[in-house]
Amino acid sequence: MAVREFTIAVAAGKGGTGKTLLSTSLALALAQAHPNRVQLVDCDAEEPNAHLLLPVQVRHERTVKVRVARVLEARCTACGRCAAACQFGALALMRRRVAVFPALCIGCGTCAFVCPESAMLEEERVVGSLLLGRVCGALEFTQGRIHVGEQRVTPVLQALRKALAPGMIRVLDAPPGTACPMQETISGADACLLVTEPTPFGCSDLTAAVETCRALGVPCSVVINRTGVGERSVYDYCAREGIPVLLEIPWRRAIAEAYARGGTLLDADPAWADSLRTLFRQTAVVAERR
Ligand code: SF4
Ligand code: SF4
């Protein structure tokens, strides 16, 4: 298989479906066949955990900063125009002083624009970090982390996007759910693999994830985890909607034990590597057909 630039997002409508197990296993299997041509990007910046399943050798950590408003009190006349203009509730006039709530500020600069005294400045604030490393000397690893208490994950996701390695296969481990962080991650991906499980909950969350992919124009396919237990609604839904089910991961003790030890599908059985590389090829075919 010739390597060409391709970005595949691995997502799930809810947490706990095996999304990170699949993304780490897939990235490892691809890196076995294409050393130094695969990048795994852990985009679950609020709860990053891909490093728990892989022997990551960290090479570098980079801070993620945003620009936020700061009041130069010596110039401020407490006119209140800045607080009135801020659409994000990041400023409040309290007892003739302007209070800044940095976690709410998006650095839009409106307050500085309306301030008649040039009393509104900007300063940098660290909101998270990127971890850059390698796995087994063959897989590039990049992970985003938002600092505890920060509310906006977007700056970290934007920094991850800038850190995507050109010309490589990129496997993005998306944040769970279908809210903004997931959407930001899968936007622009060539394809999305949606991981679900054969339960009514899995089917409900898969439905939301499929609708999100369709709204964003990202071709999607499905991987069903823990097959052999549960029921058929996920299969029926995929058949009805014409969504290909490309892989089933059975409920097996060996997989559960490997995962419990902090391992991937390849630790449960190295033969999974072939199935995962086939999964990648099929995903690329589905993307090309759209
Ligand atoms: S930079 Fe924008 S978001 Fe931040 S305080 Fe000023 S007006 Fe509000
Ligand atoms: S607009 Fe400028 S002068 Fe008026 S309260 Fe805000 S910082 Fe102070």
- Expressed in angstroms and rounded, the spacing between residue 236 Cα and the centre of ligand 1 is 48
Q: Does the Cβ of 8 fall within 6 Å of ligand 1? A: no
CATH value at residue 73 = 3.30.70.20
Confidence of residue 103 (pLDDT cuts 50, 70, 90): confident
Asked if residue 270 is part of any domain, the answer here is yes
Stated pTM of the model: 0.90
The number of the ligand nearest the C-alpha atom of 106 reads 1
Mean pLDDT, to the nearest integer, of 49-54?
Answer: 95
Note the ligand closest to the C-alpha atom of 96.
2
Alpha carbon of 111 to those of 85, 100, 250: distances in Å? 6, 11, 56
| pLDDT tier, 229 (very low <50, low <70, confident <90, very high otherwise) | confident
Split at pLDDT 50, 70, 90, the class of 2 is low
Torsion of CA 251, 248, 191, 152, to 10 degrees: -10
Range of the domain at 11: 6-55+136-289
pLDDT tens by residue, 162-200: 999 999 999 999 999 999 999 999 998 999 999 999 999
Name the β-bridge partners of 42: 143, 173
Q: Any idea what the CATH number is for the domain that residue 41 is in?
A: 3.40.50.300
Q: Distance between CA 138 and CA 263 in Å, rounded?
A: 17
92 shares a domain with 26: no
148 and 283, same structural domain? yes
List ligand 2's pocket residues with C-beta within 6 A. Answer: 71, 76-82, 98, 115, 117, 119-120
- What average pLDDT score do residues 239-255 get? 96
Ligand 1 geometric centre to CA of 123 (Å): 12
Percentage above 90 pLDDT, the chain: 90
Domain boundary, last residue among 126, 151, 166: 126
* Number of domains into which the chain is organized: 2
CB 44, CB 174: distance < 8 Å? yes
pLDDT exceeds cutoff 80 at 3: no
What is the per-residue pLDDT across 136-145, written as a single tens digit (0 to 9) for each?
A: 889 999 999 9
The answer, yes or no, to whether any atom of ligand 1 lies below 6 A from the CB of 113, is no
Which pLDDT belongs to residue 178? 94
pLDDT at residue 1 greater than cutoff 80: no
